[in-house]
Amino acid sequence: MAVIGAGPAGCAAACALAAEKVRTIVFEQGARGRDKPCGDGFTAPALRALEAMGAGIVPALTPKAEFQAIGLGIRRLSTSGMRVGPGDGYVMRRRHFDRIFQTWIGTLSGVQIRFETTVLDITEERSGLDGRGIAVSFREKAEGTMRTIRCDGVIVATGAQSKLSRKFDLDGAPEIGSALSLYVPEKAGELEMRFDAREGYFWRFPVSGSESNVGICGAGVPKNRLLDRLFRYVDPAFRTGGRSRGGVVPLWNGRSSVRHDESGILSCGDAAGLADPDTGEGLSMALISGQRAGLAMAAFVAGVPPTTALSDYSRDLDATLRSFYRPTARWRLLWRGHAFVARTLFD
């Protein structure tokens, strides 16, 4: 089995495949633990998904800051049920998390990770499992020559703007948003979220006692305008002290429910267009979809017909997405500037 991408979705898929004793090779274009524009926040659904994978991965997530309370704008929340106790939410630099997760996955039996390796293409071949198979063409940075291996199936977890998932129409046809983040030196305060910015969602997450991750995410807003809006929330003394990080965010919109190809290909995480349409948070669904994709592929390898194993993955994931995100769409206007937004973010 091949997993393309060693981010949270790809690592979750590899974990599930290893648990089912399926030999897996993971291709990662970047180096181990490369950085990514991200809020560095780990919500309760993300932590529950990690805990379900076992092996003590959550206690290994250090250094981290635990959510003691949720702040929205300048207000502190004291509404019953809106507090998050220690261990229910973390803030941790994304590159540290990826490095820990990738290192742990690399210790699992039957899993091999190849860093700095670019997958160039995947094509269906009439070989392998029940006359089916997928050819994976790749190039390792160290060697520079193109090579091809054949697998029983492929899980695409290549992140936003995935050419491979678009090739097979498995990207979920998402709305494309933009995100910018910046690390600023400041005394640690409470976690802050604002939904009253016209350009989108603003966050301030303390990553240590002296530094915070501040950022903004929105759809249909030029990067320069996002940067201007972001600087409104940053102390003027720090606006030139750090370099902003930018990226695209594939926001779920429910237009497409297909994340499988019966030749033996699944998409998950950002490659499947699963990010929260209001906040841009994608880690929770990356972990959930990655684990499910791994289990679906394990069933496929075990002989379950693709019309069952793979199509069930698409159907069940779509049902989860609609239950997870539809309340957000229904109450979006009410949530802007109100504490009720915390319900789906941290429940």
pLDDT tens for 283-338 read: 999 999 999 999 999 999 999 998 899 999 999 999 999 988 875 554 444 444 44
Summarize the confidence of residues 7-14 as an average pLDDT. 97
Asked whether residue 264 falls in the same domain as residue 183, the answer is no
Last residue of a domain, one of 204, 235, 250: 250
Q: For the chain, what percent of residues have pLDDT higher than 90?
A: 45
Instruction: Please say if the pLDDT value at position 166 is more than 90.
Output: yes
Range ranked top by mean pLDDT from 73-82, 191-200, 291-300, 319-328 = 291-300
User: Would you give the DSSP letter of residue 79?
Assistant: S
Instruction: Please say if the pLDDT value at position 73 is more than 50.
Output: no
Task: Provide the pLDDT confidence category of residue 223 given band limits of 50, 70 and 90.
Answer: confident
Helix axes 8-19, 94-106, angle to 10 degrees: 20
Pairing of strands 211-219, 265-267: unpaired
Check residue 284 and give its pLDDT: 92
- Answer yes or no: is 87 within a domain: no
- Answer yes or no: is 284 within a domain: yes
Asked whether residue 22 falls in the same domain as residue 104, the answer is yes
Asked whether residue 321 falls in the same domain as residue 179, the answer is no
CB-CB neighbours of 312 under 10 Å: 16
Asked whether residue 168 falls in the same domain as residue 104, the answer is yes
pLDDT in tens, 234-257: 776 666 556 778 888 999 999 999
Check residue 190 and give its pLDDT: 67
Q: Please give the model's pTM, rounded to 2 decimal places.
A: 0.86
User: Would you give the DSSP letter of residue 238?
Assistant: G
Domain that holds residue 134: 2-64+94-173+253-346
Asked whether residue 276 falls in the same domain as residue 290, the answer is yes
201, 217, 227 from 222: Cα distances, Å: 14, 11, 9
What's the structural domain count of the chain? 2
Distance, CA of 196 to CA of 42 (rounded, Å): 22
Check residue 327 and give its pLDDT: 58
Asked whether residue 108 falls in the same domain as residue 184, the answer is no
Q: In what order do the strands lie in the sheet with 146-151?
A: 117-125, 133-140, 146-151
- Answer yes or no: is 80 within a domain: no
Distance, CA of 199 to CA of 216 (rounded, Å): 8
Last residue of a domain, one of 250, 266, 281: 250
Asked whether residue 262 falls in the same domain as residue 321, the answer is yes
Asked whether residue 326 falls in the same domain as residue 202, the answer is no
- Within 8 A by CB and 6+ apart from 246, the residues are 37, 178, 179, 180, 223, 226
Asked whether residue 200 falls in the same domain as residue 260, the answer is no
Instruction: Please say if the pLDDT value at position 68 is more than 90.
Output: no
Task: Provide the pLDDT confidence category of residue 219 given band limits of 50, 70 and 90.
Answer: confident
Asked whether residue 202 falls in the same domain as residue 332, the answer is no
- Answer yes or no: is 199 within a domain: yes
Instruction: Please say if the pLDDT value at position 50 is more than 60.
Output: yes
Distance, CA of 71 to CA of 133 (rounded, Å): 50
Helices (H) and strands (E) in the chain, counts: 9, 19
Check residue 231 and give its pLDDT: 80
Burial group, residue 126, by CB count within 10 angstroms (0-12, 13-18, 19+):
exposed
Asked whether residue 144 falls in the same domain as residue 46, the answer is yes
- Answer yes or no: is 6 within a domain: yes
- Within 8 A by CB and 6+ apart from 32, the residues are 98, 99, 102, 103, 115
Last residue of a domain, one of 188, 220, 250: 250
